[in-house]
Structure 1
Amino acid sequence: MGLPTLALTQAPASLRGFGGEAVLVLGQVQLMVAFGMEENRREKQILFDVVDIPYSYNAIFGCATLNKFEAVSHHNYLKLKMPSLTGMIVVKGAIHNVEAKPHDRARHTPKPTPHGKVIKVKVDDADPTRFVSLGGDMGEREAENILEVLKKNIDIFAWSPDEVGGVSTDLIMHHLAVKPEAKPSKQKLRKMSADRQEAAKAEVQKLLKAGVIQEIDHPEWLANPVLVRKLNGKWRMCVDFTDLNKVCPKDNFPLPRIDQLVDSTAGCELMSFLDAYSSYHQIHMNPADIPKTAFITPFSTFCHLRMPFDLRNAGATFTRLVYKVLYKQLGRNVEAYVHDIVVKSRKAFDHASDLQETFDNLRAAGVKLNPENAIKSQVLVDFVAEWTPAFSPEPEPVEQPWVMYSDGSWSHKGAGAAAVLTLPRGVPIWYAARLQFDTTNNTIEYEAVLLGLRKAKELGVRRLLIRTDSKLVASHVDKSFETKEEGMKRYLEAVRSMEKCFAGITVEHLPRGQNEEADTLAKSAACGGPHSPSIFFEVLYAPSVPTESLDIMAIDQAELGEDPEDWRTPFVKYLKNGWLPEDEAEAKRLQLRATKYKLVSSQLYRSRVLQPLLHCISFAEAEEMAKEIHQGLCGAHQAARTVASKVFCQGVYWPTVLKVCVEQAKKWGLDIIGPSPVARNGYKFAIMAIEYFSRCIEAEPLSAIISVAVQKFVWKNIVCRFGVPKEFIADNGKQFDSDKFREMCEGLNLEIRFASVAHPQSNGASKRSDGKILEALKKRLEGAAKGKRPDEMLSVLCALQTTPTRPTKFSPFMLLYGDEAMTPTELGANSPRVIFSGGEDGREVSLELLERVRVEALEHMRKYATSTSATYNKKVRPTELLPGHLVLRKKANPVAVGKLELKWEGPYLIKYRSRTGSFHLATLEGEEFNHSWNAASLKRFYV
C-alpha cells in the first residue's frame, strides 16, 4: 500500500493464532474502510494490526469491524450484507480470484539464477561438447587446480545413459520386501493421446538402450506409466507404483535434514555441488523383485532391471549407498542429501585434494556423476553463499535480554500472580493468573516468577532479566539468602530447573513503587477480573510444586522415572525436570499428553473430569490387576469393558486398560453349555432374589425346591440382613404359592405378587439375574468339575454386587452402603481411596451422600425405563380388553399341540385387571382362577 513505517503506532500486545502460537505485531495503523458504490456507500475508520506473515489475503476483518458496520455474513453464499441510509449493501465474494492467485504466482515465479558469474569449461580436448560449470569468482590458482583434477577424472562423469554401468550388486541392491500376504495387482492399460504415446515410446527406447528396463511376459504385477509435461514443454514419464508401494513396508533408514546440511557448511571457503547421473538407475534391482516392477504401454510390457524413481523406498536405498561409499568423508569434507553431494573445504587451496578423494571413492563404487547439472540446487547454493559466514575471531554481538516484571497479591477476595514480559524494543506482553489454592505471601511471589518463566520459555526467550519487588525471592535466586523452609526449597528448585531452559537469567530487586504495572495486574487477577482482551488470563488450581501435606505410599515403584522401559518414565521426567525427547514430533506429543497427568510426591496420577485422580501403575502390575478382577476372588469372567470400568472404579490407570482387559476376556471366550450335574451335598438347584432398586442379588444353592427351603432363604438372606421388604414378586411355582409361605409373609406383613402365567417378562429383573449367575458360573468352572458350583457362588455374587448396572449407572454395593466396595485388587494397587481413607469420618460422609446417590440412580432408572418402553412399544399392537369381555387363552404348552389341534382354549370371562396388561379370568360358570394372565396370552372372543 506504500505506507511509511513511521505511520505505525505501538501495539499493546502480540496476537495469538488458532494453534496458540504468538505472532509479533509490527504496529497498528488506522485506515479508511468503505463498502458499496457511490450512491449506496458506508465508510468508517478501522484500526488494523500489521503483521509480517505469508498469507493469501491482504487484510482480515474481525468481529469488531463487522459489528461496527452492523454486517451479517453467510458463508454458504459467500455474501456480506449491511444496512445503509439508502438501502442494503451486498458484498459478493470472488473466491475464484483468491484460488487463482497462488497458481498464477507459482506459474510466473522466475527460475533461480546463479549467484555470481558461472563459466563453462572444457574438460575433454578430444570432444569439445564436453564441459562442466565452474564459479567465475574463484581465484585463478584454485580454478587451475580444480580444472586439472576434473580433466584427470573425466571417467567419473557420464555423458549419455548408456555410459552408466550401475553399482556393483555386491555393494547394494534394492529389495522390495513385499508383504507375504499381499495379492498381486494388475492395472489395465490406460488410454493415451497421440503425443503422449510418442513421448512414452521415445522414453522406453532410451531406457532399453541404457539397459534400465527389459521386456517381460506374463507379469503378476502390472502398473501404468504416467506422463507429465515439464515447464520446458517436454514430457516426463513416471510409473504409477501405487499398488506396489502400499504392500511394501517403509524403509526407516534416516534421510538427512537439509537444515543440518546448511549449518555444516558454515565457515567453508569453497564448495562444489555434484549430482549423480540418473542416480536411482545406477542401483540394480534384486532379481526376485524385477517382475514386480513391470509396467504396461501400448507397445509392450516392460520391467525394471535397475531401481526406478517411483518406488517407495528408492530415496532411502540411494541414501544408504552414499553413506556406504562416502562414510569416511561425511561430516568432514562432504555432505550429501540423497543424490546431491556437496564437497566442502575450510580452505580454498585444499579443495582440489578434497575433490580427488571424493572422485576416488565414487569410482571405486561405480557411481557416475552428471557433468551438465541443471540448476536444481541453485537455491541451496545461493542460500549457503549468502548466509554462511567465514570463520573470524570477531566476537558475536551480545543478545539483548527480555525484561520480566513479576508480582503477587493476596487479599480476602483471593490470590493472584502477574508477569509482564517486555521485548528488547519495549513492547510489553501481560500475563495474569488467579490462584485457586492455599498460598502465602512468599509462595505467591514465587508463583508469579514461575508464571513468567513458563511464558518466556513458550515464547523462545533465551536471555531474561527478572525484576521483582520481593526481597526474599530475589535473594534466594541470586544465592544471597539461604533457603531454610521446605516449601521455599521446593519453589527454588522449580526455578532452578527452569533456568536450564534459558541461555542466561539475571534477577534484580526493585522497590514496589517501580513495579506498579505488575502490582496492579496481580491485584486485578486476585479479584477475578474483568480483564482487558490484551491480557492473557488463566486460573491455576494447583501449586507449581507439590505440597508437603501429601504423603503417598508407593507400590513397588520407589525408582519411578528411572526405568526407561516403564511407560510412566517420560511423563515423570517431563513433569519433574521439563525433559523432552530429541524428536520434535515426539516432544510435542508428550507435551500434549502430559496435560492430563500430575506428579504428587513423586507418584504419577492421571486427572479425570470432575472425578478423583487415578493412580498410574506399570504394565506388569496392570496384568496382575486385570487378571485378578477378571478371574480372581471377586471375578466372574465378565466382558472386557465391564472389567475396565471396575479398574477405573478402583482408582488406578494404565494406557492400555481396554486392551489388557480384552486379552483377559479372550482366554474365556469359548464355552459349552450342558446339563447341570448334582453337586456336593446334593445341590442341584439355586434360589435367587434381587432387590429391584439397587439390583442387589442374593443367591443360595439348594438340593430340592421345597417351601421350607424358600422360607429359610427369605428369612436368613433377606429379612435378617435388609429388613422386611414391601412386597415380594415370584413366579407361580408351588414352592412360593404354598400355604406355609403365605402364612410366613402374612405374619411379616409382606405382600406377595405373582407374575403372569406363561409370561416371565413380568418378573424380568429376576430372570435376567438368573442368566447372569449361570453365565458367570459357567465361565468360572471352565476346565473344572461342574460339582464345584456352590463353592463359586460367593465369588460370582461379589462380582455382580461390585459391577455398575445399566439402569442405575451404579453398582448395587454403592446404592446399599454409599461407597464402592474395597476389593483385594484395589488394596494391592494402593489406590488413592486406600491412601486417603478417612476411617469413621469418611464413612459418615459416604452415608450423608448416600441419599443423593440414590436420587441420581432413581433418575437414571426412569430414563432407562422410558427409553426401553419406547423401544418395546413400537412393536406392540394395542388390544382393547376390558372386564366383562370374553377371551380365548393360549394353551400352556402350544409346542406340544398337534398341527390340526386348536392352540387356544376357552372362552373365559375377564373378571378384573390386576395391573397394566394383566387380567384375572373366570370360567363361564363363575369359577375364578387364582393367577393372572398377560394380554399377550389372550385374544378377544366374539359370539
Structure 2
Amino acid sequence: EEPWTLFTDGSSCVDGSGAGLILINPDGVEFTYALRLQFAASNNEAEYEALIVGLRIATQMGVKNIQANVDSKLVANQVLGTYVSKEDNMIKYVEIANGLVSGFKTFSISQVPRSKNKKADALSKIASTSFAHLSKQVLVEVLETKSITGKEVTAARKIRLKARQYEVMEGVLYKRSFLTPWLRCVGPLQAEYVMKEIHEGSCSMHAGPRSLSGRAGESQVPDRRNGLLHEMDRSKSGGNDYRRTSEEICMGQYCMPLWYSKRNNLGQRTMVKSSHGDTPFSLTYGTEAVIPAEIGMPTYRTTAVDVVNNDKELRLNLDLLEERRELAAINEARSKSKMTKYYNSRVRGVAFQPGNFVHRSNDANHAAAGGKLGPKWEGPYEVTDALGNGACKLRSMDETILSRTWNVANLKRCYL
C-alpha cells in the first residue's frame, strides 16, 4: 500500500502562533488544515504541535503508512532519535510524537527545505497573524487580467516624463528648453502683443511669413494683413497655401521663446554656450539682453528682478566682468581639453616605418585621372624616412624620390 504524505509547518510571532498541515492521499487528493494556537508557544513548539495534530488526523482517518515532511531540522532529528532532547517540554513532545508513530505500520520523517513546503508555511502564517479576520472557509478567486492595461501604463509614463519639462513659477506656466531660458506659455491676447512687437515694434524684424513663423513657433502661420501668428489646421490646407480667411483660422495657445527673439539692428548672440556656460552678450556688456516684448509682457527673469538693489547689482557685475571673462576662458579651455581627450581616445594611431609600402590618396595629389569611376588611391610607394608627427618621405617603385613629404592621413598601408 502506498503511503500518505504529510507536510507540516509551525509559526510563532508577536501576533500569536499557528500551524499549517497538508495531508495528501496516494491519489493526490489534498486535505488542508490551518490551526490557530490559543496559547503561547515558541517556534519549535509550534512545529511539534503541527506534526502531532497531523499524525492524530491521519490516525483518525485510518491511515497506516505515512511519510511526514517538516522544514524544522530539530524536530525531524529528535523524532528520529539522531538529536537528544534536553529541555523538558521537548522531551514531552518527542514522547507524544513517538506514541502516535507507533500506531502506523510504516512511518518516515524527513526535513525538507522551505521552498518545498510553501503551502504549509503559508497556512501557518495566515493562522498566526490573520486569524481574527478569517472565517471557517477562505475563498480564493483568480484574477485573469490586470486592473490597468499596458497602454494606460505607457501613457502615464509619457505624462510623467513630459511633466518634467514644465514648471509653475509665481503662478505662470513655463516650459524648460535645451540651452535656452524658460519659455513662457502665452494666451491669445499675449500672443497678439508679442507678434506685433516682433514684427513691427521698436526693434522689429520686418521679416517675411516663413521667417517669422520659424522664429515664433511651429505649426503657426503669420497673417499677412496684420503680421500676427495664427494656428493653422493643416488637414484643411492645400500644401503651402498661407492665404486663409479669418473664419478658417483661430488664435491658439503658444509657447514662445521670448528671450531669444533676435533684433534686426544688433548682432550680439545671446545663446548660452555649453563650453563656458555664459552668453557672448553678457561677457561683452556684463549683463543679459532684454527685448521690449519682455517689458510689455514680463517673463520670469524680469519679474524676479530686485528693483531696489538693481543698480548696485549692475555695478557689481561690471566690477566682476573681467573675472567672469577669465573664468569663461578657463572653462572653455577645459571643455576643449575634454573634447580633445575624447577624440584622441577614439582615434587609432597610424605610423609607418622605413621600408613599409603605402598607397597615396589620389584626392590629395591627383596623380591619376579622377572622376566618379576614378581610383581613390594610387601607388604603391616605399617609405624611406619617418620624420615624426606623421610626416613621411616616399620613393616610387622606379626609385624616384618624391620631392615633398606626405602625411599619414593621405596614406594607407599596402601589402605586397
TM-score bin (small chain):
0.3 to 0.5
TM value normalised by structure 2 = 0.34
TM value normalised by structure 1 = 0.18
